[in-house]
Amino acid sequence: MGLSLQKGQSLSLTKQNGDSLTNVRLGLGWDSAVPVKKGFFGGTKTVEIDLDASAIMFDAAGKHLDTVFFNQLTSKDGSVRHTGDNLTGAGDGDDETLMVNLPGVSPAVANIVFVITSYSKQTFDMVQNAFCRVIDDSVSGSPEVARYSLTEAGQNTAMIMSKLSRNGSTWNFQAIGAPANGRTAGEVLGAAAAAL
C-alpha cells in the first residue's frame, strides 16, 4: 500500500536511492453511491456510473498541448496511453488507467492533469469511493506509490483529481480533488489549467 495523500499534498516520484521513477500507471476508480434498485421481476439492479478518466497536458505557461481520453488513447509524443473506456464503474480496483512513460514525455510538457468527467452528466453525489493512485511499473511487482481518496461529493459532473508536475529531471504527484463541470476533458480545460 502506497502513501495515502490528503487533498493538496504532493509527493516526489523518486526511488529511495534518488533515481526518478520512469514508468508509472495512474489508476482511477469509483463506485456507484446510488442504492440498488429492485427490478420488475424482483431482482436487483445496480445503477451503472459511466465516468471517463483523461490526462490533459500543459506547458510551463499553462498552455494546453495535448489530451489523452477515450477518443484519443495515446498522446502525440506517445508517452501517455489510456488503456480503454470503462462504461459502468463495476468491479473492484482501477476502473480506468493511464500509463505514463515519464522520460518520454515531451520536454514542452510541464504538467499532466488527471480529470474524471461524466459524459452522461451523472453527478458526483452518485459516486462513492473515488480514488486516484500512482503505481510504479518500472520495478517488478508494480508497487503502489501513492493514493488519493476523494472525500468530496456534489452536483458537479467532473473532478480535477490530481496532477504530475515536472521538477527538473524528476516529477511530483499532487492530490487536487477540485470539483468542476463538463462532460468531456475539453470542457474542463479551464478548471484543469486553474489547478496548475
Q: Is 78 exposed, middle or buried (0-12, 13-18, 19+ CB in 10 A)?
A: exposed
Distance of CA 53 to the CA centre of its chain: 5
Examine residue 39 and state whether it is found in any structural domain, yes or no: no
Percentage above 90 pLDDT, the chain? 52
Nearest CA to 185 among 98, 61, 103, 90?
A: 98
Range of the domain at 153: 3-34+44-194
Contact 165, 100 (CB under 8 A): no
Examine residue 79 and state whether it is found in any structural domain, yes or no: yes
Examine residue 140 and state whether it is found in any structural domain, yes or no: yes
In terms of pLDDT, which residue wins out, 73 or 85? 73
Examine residue 147 and state whether it is found in any structural domain, yes or no: yes
Angle at 65 between CA 27 and CA 145, to 5 degrees: 25
35-44, 116-125, 146-155, 169-178: segment of lowest average pLDDT = 35-44
Distance between CA atoms of residues 37 and 35, nearest Å: 6
Q: In this model, does residue 192 exceed pLDDT 50?
A: yes
What tens digit of pLDDT does each residue of 150-179 get?
887 789 999 999 999 999 889 999 999 999
Q: In this model, does residue 53 exceed pLDDT 70?
A: yes
Examine residue 87 and state whether it is found in any structural domain, yes or no: yes
pLDDT at 50: 77
Domains in the chain, number: 1
pLDDT at 89: 45
CATH assignment of the domain containing 95: 2.60.60.30
pLDDT at 36: 61
pLDDT at 86: 55
